[in-house]
Structure formats: C-alpha cells, structure tokens
Structure 1
C-alpha cells in the first residue's frame, strides 16, 4: 500500500488530536504566527512562562517586542524613546523574568549623573548622538550593576532610586566564550529567565541554580536545565529533554526528514481504542521511513556528485555544520543577507569560521558549479571559501571569519572604532580591486549584483574582504549584459537594471558608487527621516556633489582632516552614479583611480590619535586640512566635469592623475 506524503500529514493531524487531548503538556500553545518557541515558553495560561502573541505574529514580553530566545536569556527590543517613565522597565521583572546585569540601562531627566557604567560614555554618545529629548535634558545617564555576570540581575530598587524619571533605552553586552571580543546590542535589553521550584531536568542534563531578584516574588528557589556537552535539547523533564547531537532534532524538523537517529512516536491511549492508535502509529512510522529514505537517497547522490566533481575544498556533513553552528542558534547568528543567514561557527579543529546557510534552492548541478567557481577564485580582498556541505536539501558554505564585522557597522557607529579617512580610502581601493578582479580576471566574468557596505567585511587589520560574490551571476564573455529578474538591495540598485532587467558590469559600478558616498558621508543609504527628495542617498549625493556642496553631507567626524582626496573620491562617486551606464567608468578604471588618489602627493602618515573622545584607529593625512575648498563654491571639485552630460566620459579617467 502506497501512501502519499499529504496523506501522512492528515494522519499526523489525526494522531495529534487524539494524543494531545489527554496530554497536559500539550495544553501549552507554543506557536505565534510562523514562529514556534521551545519549552517552557508559550502563549497560553498552561505554559510555564507565558509570553504574548500580537495579531500580526509578533512575540512580546510585557508589551516589548522580543528579538530572540535562547537557553539562558531573551533579547527584548527597547527602542530609544523620550519621556517614557522608568516604571516601564518594572514590567520586565516577573516571577520568571528579569533584566540581567549585562545591560546598561540608559536613563533621562536625571537629578544625578551616574558613574561606573559598564558601557563607555563615548560609546553611548556615539550610538545616540542624533537623538534629542529637548533643551536642558540632553544628557543620557547610564546605569549598570558594578559586577556584571550571567547569573545576576539588575537591582530595580537601586535603579528606581537613581533620581531619573525617564527610561530612554538600553545597550546589552555579550562576551564571546574563548574570545576577547564583545558583542553590543543597541536598543536591546537582555532578560534572564528561570523556573520556580525544585529541579525537573531530564536525563543527560544538569540543573543550573538561579538566584532571581527578590522583586520577582514567589518561591526563592529557581533553576534552568542545561544539556551536557554532546547533547542538545531543552533539558527539561516536561519538554523534549536532551538527545545526543547525532540524534538531536529541532521539533520543527520532524516533518522535513532532517532528524537523525530513530524516529520516536509516543502514543497516549486514554479514551482511544488501542487498535486504532496502533494503526495510526504504524501508518506514521511508514510515512516517516519512506520520506527519510528518499531524503537519504538525495543526500547520498549530492555527496557523490560533490566528491566526483573535482572540488578541492573540504566537504562537510550536515551534522558537522549543525554542531559547528550550535544547531544554527540565534545566539550564533552574525547577520541576514539577501541569499541566506550567516552564523559564527567553530570547526572540530577549533577554527572559528562564518557559516552561511543559503536560502535559495537551485539545482544541485548549478550549486556544484558555483562552489567549483568559488573555490577557484583567489584574491586577497575576497572572502575565502573554506568548505561546503550539500545534504538534507541544505546548501551551506563555510568562509573565513572576519572579527571586525562589516564596513556598514563601522560607518554607522554600530561596532568597533571610528575609522579615519585614509582607512576608509584604503578599504574603498581594496574593494574596487576585488570587484575589478571578478569582472576582468574571471572567465566568464562574475557580476556581484549586491555590492553594499554590509557585504564588505573587515579582517583583524581592517583589510577589505568582499563577501557574497559566489551567489552572483556569470556574465557571458561575448555579450554586454545578461537578462535576469532585478535583485539587489534598495538604495544600491542600478536604476537601468531595475527598469530594463539588463545586468552588466556597470550595475556593480553604480552600487560601488553608492558605497563611496556612504564612506564619505556615513549616512544611511535609505532614510525616511530625511526630506522626501533626500530619502535616497544616491540622489542626495548627486545633487550636492553636482552643485559643489559636498561639505553639507560629509561625515562630521571627517571634517577636521578633510583634504582634496575626499573631493576627488566624491567626483569619482558622482561618475559611478551616472544614470546612463555608458557614462560610468569600468571597475578597473575606478580601482586605478582610487589607488592613484591613495598614492598621490596627499601621502599618508600612520599615527594613532584620539579625537572628540573617540578611540580612532587608522591613518591621518600628513598635510593640513584643506580649508580653502569652500562649500557650494562656483569653483569646486565638481566644476571640471559639469557639462551638458550627466557625467564625463569614463575614457578620460586614466588620463587624469590626481593632484
């Protein structure tokens, strides 16, 4: 008898109805929209820790949106708001929840300025410098516990006695294990959780005692369960418990065939005929076995194709990738891109890597061809592909881990130190060289399609490393464009590509022009808080540069050290942003000109300085600032290329040495 998979689903639904009617554990609703939370979290009164589910599927805690939930803490969004009473934070202190001491709570309208904050004052000012809650109340006070650790919590009583009337926002801090690096989550508060009473942990789990703040009320004993090393799960006797990593399975994967080990079906018979229950169980087992057999066959075929395709990089199993990324937990997530999610992982040899779990599902042959291409690409400013995995209908790529994050994070003051102009110029030149390599040294050429500051990674020495080029499209050597549906990021997208679906090397040039403007201005590429005609940064920059008013949009941090090289880069960006692609330079020309600007008579002198209380890493010009270049002057950096055309011919680019 052959059962189709949709019949299996019907059987599963029937089985669920029959078994959950008599299971007290199943009375808890764990689902909100498309998201499902593990035990002990849920959205009904029967749940051990009850959260709220909004009409649009957002998960809330005490009215605040939840960003993520893990085995120790909940990240709760706390946007910067003026005039919100301090008492609003009190809602996050419950019988099972409290903000941990790894938070810096930002307060406003204070009688006394607090001291000893775990977040440096300059960093607080950096992240909230543009927010103003009115004259006389401009100072934000920072409150944190003196000895932050994962088992202690904020003392709400002391916070309430701080003399501040408004809760402005918060910054949460997390130190990576076995690393000196620290992650800061801005406008986020980290909330610890626990269960009351004696420990009810499953086998292969330890009981972690928690000392909740007295404000929570109820029993004084509290705990969490934690699986032993080599096991995964929630660890609770009333939850899924702990299973070996080789057998561990996320409950959401039961129907996808991704669960290893033996499928376990629990039948609760109360009030239901034993024969009917047995038939349902056998039917379910048959469905699971049949589905898993197909998936194993596909995985074996994919592995054989990989091994016989001449790929020279390591090929990992899906289980290895799961273990390396801690089962793709939110705690390990580095960021989301257009093509997938990136996680921080650690291989069996203790190498820290970036693991990309790809969203799209191309044919296996196409994916293998892309992996072969990626493994053959070699340039010092491209992120290296270290390995891959194609199993269980998953496509996973392993890259070098970049400890300094993305260029976007530095420009928008979300991570690390402020970058001086010559460091930004160096990053721009290296990025241009990498893209030029993809366009000119690869056969057929590779068009990136998603050049943006968040795809420009920085290694430990702040060297540029372009990412996501492997999910681009190959250009045909004998044609000037390929036709494809428009993809990319709003604000960076070539307007002609968007209108005519014609992708070419000049589409990457346009996107890179936006990145150059971002480097100069540190403004958001799309910002709806700006006037309507200035929402798009490219349009704003073309207007200001074209009128010789560059100084209106230059990053204020750069102004003390502005020289002519800034204006020369702005001129180059202007040409990259020409509406007609034929008026844009090629990436090779862009790379050459940027390198000429770097090596011109505005030579660079390596120094480390402190300016405006920022810790600044990088290089400053050996010349004085060029105050003679005035704002909106008729004689400006734009004058030499203002004409009837939208921008000058790119053919003249290489004949004009900077200076």
Structure 2
C-alpha cells in the first residue's frame, strides 16, 4: 500500500511538472520551415503546438509554411478559382505579430467601363484578427474604387482613384491620383475585398486597364507610378494578423496554472486588443531575452560581455547579475565621491570618521550605480535597435567585403548614427538641400570639416539588401570626375544613409528652367561630360542609372557635370543583356520600351539622355513641349517634324539662336532624335553618343 501511494505521488508530481512547464516532451522550443522561424506556441510538428489554431503546415517540397484558417476563397469572373484553408506564413514574432501573404483583388475593364475580367478575395481568419493599426487598404489603378466588405455589412469601406491629370501621379504618394489608401476597421476576422469601376468615369484611362485592391502591412508597399499599368493580377502582399497567448486578462490567466502561458523570468501584459475583448501576451523581464512561452526560454543577458551593453566607468569592474549588472571597484579600492567616482586606495581615517565616510561613500556609490544602471537600461534598447538596423541593412556583409584583400583601395567609410546626427544638426529642416520621390538630401559637415551631402532614403526593399550592398561597394570604388563620389554610408537607421561629396552649383534643372543663362558651349560641355559618365557606368560597372534627368545632374562652379542620385539604379550582372524589374523612373524621361516590357538595359539610359538633350536645346521641360501625341509616342517624331519644316529654331532657347553655330545645334538635335527612337535596338550606344558629342564640340571650337 505504501509503495502504491509513493508511485501515485511521484506520478502526480511529474504531471504537475509537465503542466507547469507547458512544454511537451521531445518538442523543440523553436523549429523552422524554409527560411521562416516558427517559435512555440506555434509549431510544424504534430502535438507540439498549443492547439490546432497554432499548427503551421510545412510543405515538404517547397518548404513554404502555411497557417490553418477557416477559409480563403478567390472568385475569378464569378467562378470559383481557389478555395483553401491555408495562408502562406512570412514571419512569426513573439510580440504578437503573425505576417501572412494575401492575394490582391483586381478588376480589368474596357473603354466603356465594363469588366473584362475580375477577382474577389474572401477570407476568414477566425482566431487571428487583422491589425487595423499595422495594415491599410490600398487601391491602385485609374478611375476605380478599392472596396472591403465586412461580415454582416452591406456598405463597404472604400477609397477611390482617378487619373484625370497623369502628371499629378507621383511616386510614394497615394492621395487619389493613381493610388489611394484608407484604414481598415478594427478587430475584423472575416472580410471580402475587390475592385469596382468608378461610375463617374465611364471611359477607362489610357494608362491602365486594370485596377487592384489589397490589404498590406503599412511599411511594405511604396507606390510607384509604374504600378498603375504594370502590377500583376497574381500578386500577393504581406498582411499583419494579431495573435495572443490567451483570451483572458492577465489577472484571470494567473488563477489557473494549467493554462497560464508565461514561464520563468517573464511577465504577463494585458493586450491592447482592438475588439476590446480581453487577451494577454508574455514578455521576458528587462535584462532577459528569449521565448517567454517556454520553460527557461528567457535567459539572462550578460551585459558584462559587451562594452556597449554596460556603462561601467574605466576604473570599475563589471559584475553580471540576474537581469542586470553592477559596477564595483577592484579589491582594495573604493569609489571616491570627491574624485568623480574614480576608484582609489582607502584613506586612513579615525574609526568614527571612517565609518561615517564609509557610509557616505556607500550611499554615493549606490546612487552612482543606480544612475548608471538606469542610464544603461535606457540606452540599451537604443543601442540594440541600432545594432539590429546595422545587421538588417547588411552591415556585417559590407564590413566583410571592405575587409577583403581585393578591397584595399576602397575609401568608403561606415559612419555611425551619432556622426550623421551631429553633421546635420540633428537632421534639421534648414539643412535640407533637396527632396524627391525616393528620399531627402541634407547638407552636412563632418568632424574633419568636410562638407558632404547626406541622402536619407524613404524606403529600402529588404529583399534587395544583397544588391544594395553590391552597388555600395561598386559605387564607392568609382573615381570618375563626372560622377558624384560616394564617400560612405550609415546603416544604423531603419533605412541606410548615403554620404556623397557636396556639389556647389545646384542642378542642371535649376540652370535650364529657372532663368539662369548658359551659353551653348557650356550646355554642350555638360552634355558631353554627362554622356561620358553614363558610358563609364554602363560599360565599366554594369550599372543602369534608370533616372537620368536634369535634376539628377549636379554642377560645380566651373559647370562641370556630376551625375548623381543612384536611389533606383540597378546593377546588371555580367553576362546579362538586360534586367527584368518593376518600372521606376520619372514620367517623361522613362524609356517607353522599358515602360511597356519591364526590361531594363543600357539603351534605357540613352533614351533618358535624349530627353536631357532636348531640354538643353529648348530650355523647356519635355512635358511643356507642344507634342501632338503623348511623350512616349511623339518626342522624336515632333523634333523630326520641326527640322523638316525648318521650324526647329522657333523652339530653341534664346541663348542658342545664333547662326554661327546653327549646324552644331542641328547636329545635337539629330543626335537627340536618334536617342529617342522608340525601339532600343535602333538607338546609338552611350559610347557612340559620347564620341559624336565630342566631335560636335570640336566643330564648335573651330567656328569660334
């Protein structure tokens, strides 16, 4: 009988231990599917997840993780196209974010506003609501409405677009011209979204025959003008769903050890749930890191192993403690409050005075330690965040590349955030010297008194980090007199900061279009130097600029040209003739062949350069010329017509109407026409353009 009671007691203790740890035998606290980390309470292993709703199905062939949901239904042209109970998982984080891929709804229509094809997306996630603060509903297209219907509601949440003035459509701007944004309702788990034709615009736009509606995480979509016409119908976007440890308050959850999810060295936090219903998350204590839902998942951080995590003065020793650290003097020394807390030898004092002083020193030391600890904890998160940004932006990869033997001639510098902050006076608005669709440029002065231009991009696609790093390495090695020199970068911010040499005499756009006068000799000099720079980039580094325009050509005091702004430039791998990519660039300067096919090559820069030649000759922006058709169909034909009718000199800038160099002006015009040919194969190469401009400069010199 006694033995039976002992066995029963042992089984009871073992059962309580298993319940208390809430970790199943032979189950890893973290597993993976493809490149996605799956932390407990989620799992891909049978019986290793919290319950069925946390099960992640891992496809053995594709290694794509999928979340079980109630339903995902895709209707195309009114017919069932897809019916699934799964969503692809992109990321699971312990802070309650579950990122999944959800397809876009679309509608394609004809010139009479009638659908030619369309799709509607209906989804029910049940356990995991959409986050209204971290997602948005986006509509892309011309004269369409993006709609989202909620369960049991006949009225949709929607936003509308139009393309009445195509020049108003701007990259990065979603205010109704080609793109619209609206928030999604709170706490929804069931919704449908689709595109409808705006009944106020029965004639579909020439720029777009399809519109798209989709939910997307706030930071994961940046509108590009090319999306209006080139967005695929089978595209999907990352969407943030919310998940919780339990559907009760912390106070209620703690009353039942068998279901309470927060393990050792963690704290329970009531979730700010959008639906208002109770829920909670678990979080490791300050000074600990890991998975709070697993026994021993939150491990102490040893701050003493990193000089960046502890702030002990030089004279002190760092002593790690659970969740924190102490700064103590070496044996035989004490902190002298009168000597700024420096550890010194003990003084010989009378007993009473010694005890009193010891007490004072003890209190002072405790205050100093507490102050240092507080400051250390406060700064630790900032330091950790910068470390994460540095790694996320490819800092370690870039360090390794710069450290290689074949990079010894590389002069690029990895700046830290504090240097950039000080150089720009904390990025004050008065230091802004330029702003465009892809970022803001600040004037900065480094510690060595060097004046620089610091570009702060608006967004970088994390999937392109390897390519970004490769371009930084290549650009940092360029030492061409007509290309703005990249001096270095800072990777400790959410998006990288690029540091360039500072150019003093504004942009070519300013000098052409804002009343500044330039002689024909100066214009031809700028054109030749720009062609030389583009030829060097295309042939020596395999870089396609993709945004050649007057505002991206900077000028020194002697009017030497400096090609700048590589924010959307692309590196074409050696051996490839082109690169397939989403269309980006500035309307009017974008190669029409690239615009319609998405295939980028060196002839794309030739077309854009042809537009620059036109503006150098006419002093007028390409959009303002009286071209009968739109720019993509009529620029070259328009100039050819003017030459045939001897009317070209009517549109010339007044500085260029002298008869003494009329033949050279016509030669430049004919070169521009060749560059603007609609078919890339018929355009000259940038090398041929450079050679012809050099010859025209020689002719001009001989006539002086």
Question: Which structure features the higher share of strand residues?
Answer: 2
TM-score (norm 2): 0.43
Q: Which has the higher contact order (CA 8 A, sep 6+)?
A: 1
Which of these two proteins has the greater Rg computed from alpha carbons? 2
TM-score (norm 1): 0.46
